[in-house]
Structure 1
Amino acid sequence: MDNNRAWYNRFKLFFLNNRFVLFLLVLLLIGVNIFVLTKISFVFTPFVVLVQTLLLPLLLTGVVYYLLNPLVDFLERKGIKRVFAILSLYLLLIAIIALIVLAVVPLIREQINGLLENLPAYGIEVERQFRELIGSKFFNEVQSALGVESIDITANISKWATALLQNTWTRLGGILGAVTEVVLAVVTVPFVLFYLLKDGKKLSGFILSFIPNALRAETGTILKETNHQISSYIRGQIIVSFCIGTLLYIGYLIIGLDYSLVLAITAACTSVVPYLGPAIAITPALIVASVTSPAMLLKMIAIWTIVQLIEGKFISPQIMGKTLRIHPVTIIFVILTAGKLFGIFGIILAVPGYAVLKVVVSHIFQWFKIRSRLYETESTNR
């Protein structure tokens, strides 16, 4: 009898009086409920459609919010009412966009049209260089060492090119649908952004109102650190991408590379993705430079190397600093995993999402260390 009572007291002490164990049990019950509800399509389908509809507008709005909110706060500190500060920034943005449309867009359109017109010639030139490479002595030695026939290589490349062309035409409708979604998202951004800039400071208080009083202080700290991580990353990455695009454009102009503006803008856009973005952006520049001449290819590689050194040694350390404190190898694996799971949105949101998750998990772990008393130092135990 006493033995049973002792076991009951141990069970009560470990399970019923242990908040962490109860917390895990609650999470388990929530997970079971979600798993059961996912088997009922009409329960989660509207929720999934809602998330897919709101994801892109909210993503674009959040990026613009973190860029403009410091300016709105600055104008408000100078005595300008917040609504008037927002409207002033809107007018300034409209003027900048109009200037870009009138001055830059025609040049971009001209270069894109020229690139599209020359694509057949580029394809023929690439095919000629490839055939010369197949017939070279070095390639024959590599081929014999690997035991691969050149006919098989040519056939595989032809099949790959045919499949790529067929998939491009097949997915044309999907591309047009995606463009329509982007246009609608861009149209809705100014309206959502206005209210977010106006009442964004109240959002954290609104979220904390649902949190129990005992957890509000810690939750407020998590929200503050999360906001700092996201804002630092977005502002820093956009500034770094703009600097990369500007430097590459200047370098391409100096060496006389064709379609320099389009190639620089492509590099600036893809540089939003750390480490993998520059590797993707260099591909079109390599094609244009290699088709132009071997000397142009060497010049382009030199310009790209110089810009990457400037970005890695001077620009990123000054702008990004050590705000994220994430190892480069970790970033690469996070981007690859998120891209595999969620596609292009996963690649874009991988690093800030991981930074937010790191903040939340680190605070939960600190809370667990304090509550469990399993990580007390030896001096404390003594």
Structure 2
Amino acid sequence: MNNKFFRIGAGILLVFLIIYVGTEINWVFHPFAVLFQTLFIPIILAGFFYYLLRPVVKIFNKKLPAVLSVLLVYFILLCIVTGFLVLLGPVLKRQFYGLINSMPFIVSEIQKRVTSIKEMNIFQLEQLAEVLDLENLFIELGDLINRLLRSITANISNIISLLANTVLSIIIVPFILFYLLRDGDRLGTYIINLFKEEKRKLARSILTDIDQILSAYIQGHGLVCLCVGLLCYIAFLVIGLDYALLLAVIAGLTEIIPYFGPWIGAIPAVVVGLFQSTGTALIVIIVIVIVQQIESNFITPQVIGKKMKIHPIIIMFLILLAGRLAGLIGMIMVVPVYAVFRVIVTYVMKIRKGELKL
């Protein structure tokens, strides 16, 4: 027992010593940091697409060899992406540049509408507008947009570097994904075989639970994003909202951030709606609320189910904390990372209670 605690204590001290040396002597860990930064995003993206495409590959595996199954899925995916770019790419491009060019006019029009709302003085709207100080809010929004454009111009070299890294990730991801789809099942077996014979059953159970949770979350969340995007697009077309396709794509993509994402994605749609008319903005808000109710009460329970079993307050806290520490990437990744961590802790607690044996 004493030897066990001694090894644990020595291991902890060694970790802190390595961290200290790394902070004091930058060149020791700098190459590893660069390697980590280079490969982190491609590996995460490859893992994300692995869980999305694995069910399709398994269907083809029933009739075809693994390599042919993966290549066939790649071909189908390439056809879908090409079709999307050909059919919807020009529309998205036109709407994106149209929205960017219209921003000064949108901000100006919104300021006029806020002024007109204040002058109506219906149900004390004037007092409400004064409390919220909406005019200054949208003036600041316009200044923010101008500063953003100037910042983009000033940091063009950093943007080029970011684009280069993005292109590198796009090139690397398909290769990593290919081997994951081809050898994913064998990878789990390889990890299990690293453990001693008597511990392999437990290792298999832990890996299976982690795999099921990640699969349910990623596949389910991907389908939820698609459904929300389609619902928003149909609704935006019906109410005659400008830039309907672009705003629906934004709404679908931001859905990947639980709880906060839908409202982040709603902001551009409400702003564009307010530019068209106050009534349109109100209808957009109603539409988004209805879509979110459909998503939270019907789509998500059916698609993701209750496998995550994480309280909404915990999710909100995790997202806020992750956003503070790691930005957008942290907000996207924190829920599945927490779910994996919870699985491991659950097994550790069962072992400590004697319910499971090592």
TM-score, normalization by structure 2? 0.88
Q: Gapped runs of 5+ residues in structure 2?
A: none
Residues 1:41 and 2:26 are matched in the alignment: yes
- State how 1:95-114 maps to structure 2 within 5 Å: 95-114=79-98
Question: In the superposition, relative to structure 1, how do residues 268 and 155 fare at CA in structure 2: closer, same or farther (>3 Å)?
Answer: closer
Counterpart for residue 29 of structure 1: 13
Question: In the superposition, relative to structure 1, how do residues 323 and 152 fare at CA in structure 2: closer, same or farther (>3 Å)?
Answer: closer
Question: In the superposition, relative to structure 1, how do residues 162 and 199 fare at CA in structure 2: closer, same or farther (>3 Å)?
Answer: closer
C-alpha distance in 2 between matches for 1:152 and 1:101: 40
Larger gyration radius, structure 1 or structure 2: 1
Counterpart for residue 52 of structure 1: 37
Counterpart for residue 248 of structure 1: 232
Counterpart for residue 207 of structure 2: 223
Counterpart for residue 11 of structure 1: none
Counterpart for residue 162 of structure 2: 178
Q: Which of residues 295, 303, 317 in structure 1 aligns to 2:301?
A: 317
CA contact (8 A) 1:60 1:186 kept: no
Question: In the superposition, relative to structure 1, how do residues 278 and 173 fare at CA in structure 2: closer, same or farther (>3 Å)?
Answer: farther
Residues 1:343 and 2:336 are matched in the alignment: no
Amino acid at match of 1:314: F
- State how 1:122-161 maps to structure 2 within 5 Å: 122-131=106-115, 141=127
Counterpart for residue 73 of structure 1: 58
C-alpha distance in 2 between matches for 1:236 and 1:154: 37
Q: Gapped runs of 5+ residues in structure 1?
A: 1-14, 374-382
Amino acid at match of 1:264: A
The 10-residue stretch of structure 1 (315-324 or 93-102) with the greater mean CA deviation from structure 2: 93-102
Question: In the superposition, relative to structure 1, how do residues 327 and 171 fare at CA in structure 2: closer, same or farther (>3 Å)?
Answer: farther
CA contact (8 A) 1:56 1:182 kept: no
CA contact (8 A) 1:267 1:278 kept: yes
Amino acid at match of 2:317: F
Which SS does the other structure have where 2:76 is aligned?
A: helix
Cα deviations across residues 151-191 of structure 1 (Å, max 9, x unaligned)?
99899778766655554444444333323222221122222
Superposed displacement of residue 248, structure 1: 0.5
Superposed displacement of residue 205, structure 1: 2.4
Question: In the superposition, relative to structure 1, how do residues 159 and 252 fare at CA in structure 2: closer, same or farther (>3 Å)?
Answer: closer
Residues 1:199 and 2:217 are matched in the alignment: no
Superposed displacement of residue 40, structure 1: 2.5
C-alpha distance in 2 between matches for 1:114 and 1:156: 22
Counterpart for residue 260 of structure 1: 244
Superposed displacement of residue 56, structure 1: 1.2
Question: In the superposition, relative to structure 1, how do residues 256 and 85 fare at CA in structure 2: closer, same or farther (>3 Å)?
Answer: same
Amino acid at match of 1:112: F
Question: In the superposition, relative to structure 1, how do residues 199 and 277 fare at CA in structure 2: closer, same or farther (>3 Å)?
Answer: same
Question: In the superposition, relative to structure 1, how do residues 336 and 319 fare at CA in structure 2: closer, same or farther (>3 Å)?
Answer: same
Counterpart for residue 61 of structure 1: 46
C-alpha distance in 2 between matches for 1:92 and 1:164: 39
Question: In the superposition, relative to structure 1, how do residues 372 and 96 fare at CA in structure 2: closer, same or farther (>3 Å)?
Answer: closer
C-alpha distance in 1 between matches for 2:137 and 2:99: 28
TM-score, normalization by structure 1? 0.83
The 10-residue stretch of structure 1 (343-352 or 277-286) with the greater mean CA deviation from structure 2: 343-352
Counterpart for residue 217 of structure 2: 233
C-alpha distance in 2 between matches for 1:286 and 1:151: 16
The 10-residue stretch of structure 1 (96-105 or 200-209) with the greater mean CA deviation from structure 2: 200-209
Question: In the superposition, relative to structure 1, how do residues 136 and 303 fare at CA in structure 2: closer, same or farther (>3 Å)?
Answer: closer
Superposed displacement of residue 51, structure 1: 0.8
Cα deviations across residues 109-155 of structure 1 (Å, max 9, x unaligned)?
12112212322211211233345567786577569989x9x999899
Question: In the superposition, relative to structure 1, how do residues 169 and 329 fare at CA in structure 2: closer, same or farther (>3 Å)?
Answer: farther
Amino acid at match of 1:49: V
C-alpha distance in 2 between matches for 1:258 and 1:162: 22
